Amino acid sequence: MKPEPISKPVQPKAATPATVHLQTIGPEEAGQRLDNYLLRWAKGVPKSHVYRIIRSGEVRVNKKRAEPTTRLIEGDVVRLPPVRLAEPAQMAAVNTAQTKSRARGYSDKMPILYEDDALLIVNKPAGLAVHGGSGIALGVIETLRITRPELKFLELVHRLDRDTSGVLLLAKKRSALVELHRQIREGLTDKRYFLLAHGEIEQSAGVMQLKFPLHKYLLPNGERRVRVDPDGIPSHTALRVVKKMKREDAAITLAEAQLKTGRTHQIRVHLQKLGHSILGDDKYGFEDEDKRIKSKRLYLHAHLAGFTHPKTGEKMRIESALPPEFVAMMKNFEPQG
């Protein structure tokens, strides 16, 4: 749904009234750039308009003009000018009983692995996107905002592909979000995945270090893809073979992948380059082999997240058990060695 024109006098009931607001920055908003704060506030308004009202001086911080890069401090008073806010489609959908019912259904399939006043960590099911987008009204974040309306702040710390299951971190405080993002940037977190790959992956003692540079590109239909490219961005996956399995017509390998970098589709493309695509991968996989062994999903599961708690400093290790689909698939094969 496109946002209503800014000058249009009639506004749907669900939209925010066009009046001047004075917002006092609290501890959870402190540290943000002014432009990022406004883009969150003005959901549905074109980004170009947000920057125009900053440049024109309609937005003020403590009654003074400010730059888009101005860092907000707790206690700052921000003047927000009259802007008619049109909700994005996925947020407007929240108002329907059908969407609320769907959100409750998604939530029931998304167990909470850990929660305190700073963090919410869930076990994301395969097939559920982490956030809404084109053609998707509800993702994890929208679902939780609907079913947990008491949470005034809730943001994704990282992402998982739609068809990947497992441990997903969300922050309930901005300070926690900022700290966890710092840990991710500085390589201080530990993210590990279990996967089932086609074929028997041959590995000597120890762990394989997959260091294939990756390049993102778009297909003619606009769909995003990633390929190994010498001029791409460096990426690094540590791969450990756990078990090799075989039957008359096929072989598979259970392996653990540890992310050293976090590029888009990194594990999936690294396994494709290795010649052992992940079972059920409709972008980088082996379609004929998937049909023969009847893959029902992408067999990639985020089973462990290690990090330092942003508030207490405690070393955290959150784990998710191997999904039933993995167990069922492996029962069709005989262990090797």
- In whole angstroms, give the CA distance from residue 43 to residue 56: 20
Beta partners for residue 22, in sequence order: 79
Pairwise pLDDT comparison (56 vs 277), residue with the higher score: 277
What mean pLDDT is predicted for residues 38-42?
Answer: 78
What is the pLDDT, as a whole number, of residue 317? 98
Give domain status of residue 15, yes or no.
no
Give domain status of residue 11, yes or no.
no
For residue 62, what are the domain limits? 21-80
Domain identity same for 56 and 95? no
Domain identity same for 195 and 326? yes
Q: Quick: pLDDT tens for 8-27.
A: 443 444 444 457 888 888 77
- In whole angstroms, give the CA distance from residue 285 to residue 48: 40
Quickly state the pLDDT bin for 210 (edges 50, 70, 90): very high
Quickly state the pLDDT bin for 1 (edges 50, 70, 90): very low
Domain identity same for 239 and 106? no
Known catalytic membership, residue 161: yes
Pairwise pLDDT comparison (188 vs 17), residue with the higher score: 188
Domain identity same for 75 and 123? no
The pTM of this model reads 0.76
Q: Which CATH number belongs to the domain containing residue 256 in this structure?
A: 3.30.2350.10
Pairwise pLDDT comparison (319 vs 41), residue with the higher score: 319
Domain identity same for 160 and 196? no
- In whole angstroms, give the CA distance from residue 127 to residue 139: 10
Give domain status of residue 13, yes or no.
no
Give domain status of residue 25, yes or no.
yes
User: Which tokens is 265 given?
Assistant: 């589709």
Domain identity same for 204 and 322? yes
> Is 6 a residue whose pLDDT tops 60?
no
Domain identity same for 235 and 165? no
- In whole angstroms, give the CA distance from residue 296 to residue 306: 29
Pairwise pLDDT comparison (236 vs 16), residue with the higher score: 236
Measure CA 141 to chain center.
Answer: 9
What is the pLDDT, as a whole number, of residue 310? 97
> Is 137 a residue whose pLDDT tops 90?
no
One of 161, 163, 281, 290 is an active-site residue; which one? 161
What mean pLDDT is predicted for residues 108-128?
Answer: 96
Give domain status of residue 232, yes or no.
yes
Q: Are 277 and 285 in contact (CB under 8 A)?
A: yes
What mean pLDDT is predicted for residues 223-237?
Answer: 95
Give domain status of residue 184, yes or no.
no
What mean pLDDT is predicted for residues 151-166?
Answer: 93
- Pick the closest to residue 180 from 69, 73, 25, 306 (CA basis): 306
> Is 251 a residue whose pLDDT tops 90?
yes
Number of domains in the chain: 3
Domain identity same for 129 and 168? yes
What is the pLDDT, as a whole number, of residue 320? 98
What is the pLDDT, as a whole number, of residue 9? 41
Pick the last residue of a domain from 58, 80, 102: 80
What mean pLDDT is predicted for residues 231-258?
Answer: 96
Domain identity same for 152 and 94? yes
Give the end-to-end CA distance of the chain in Å, rounded to a whole number: 56
Pairwise pLDDT comparison (68 vs 118), residue with the higher score: 118
Domain identity same for 252 and 159? no
- Provide CB contacts within 8 A for 5, sequence distance 6+: none
Give domain status of residue 204, yes or no.
yes
User: Which tokens is 309 given?
Assistant: 């708690």
Quickly state the pLDDT bin for 35 (edges 50, 70, 90): confident
Based on C-alpha coordinates, what's the Rg of the chain?
23
- In whole angstroms, give the CA distance from residue 209 to residue 218: 28
Q: Are 60 and 70 in contact (CB under 8 A)?
A: no
What is the pLDDT, as a whole number, of residue 5? 43
Pick the last residue of a domain from 39, 54, 80: 80
- Pick the closest to residue 196 from 94, 294, 276, 80 (CA basis): 276
In this structure, of 48-62, 123-137, 314-328, the range with the lowest mean pLDDT score is 123-137
Give domain status of residue 277, yes or no.
yes
- Provide CB contacts within 8 A for 283, sequence distance 6+: 225, 265, 268
What mean pLDDT is predicted for residues 231-260?
Answer: 96
Domain identity same for 222 and 332? yes
Domain identity same for 129 and 154? yes
> Is 2 a residue whose pLDDT tops 50?
no
- In whole angstroms, give the CA distance from residue 85 to residue 38: 12
Q: Which CATH number belongs to the domain containing residue 46 in this structure?
A: 3.10.290.10
- Provide CB contacts within 8 A for 261, sequence distance 6+: 234, 235, 236, 237
What mean pLDDT is predicted for residues 197-224?
Answer: 90
| Overall residue count recorded for the chain in this entry | 337
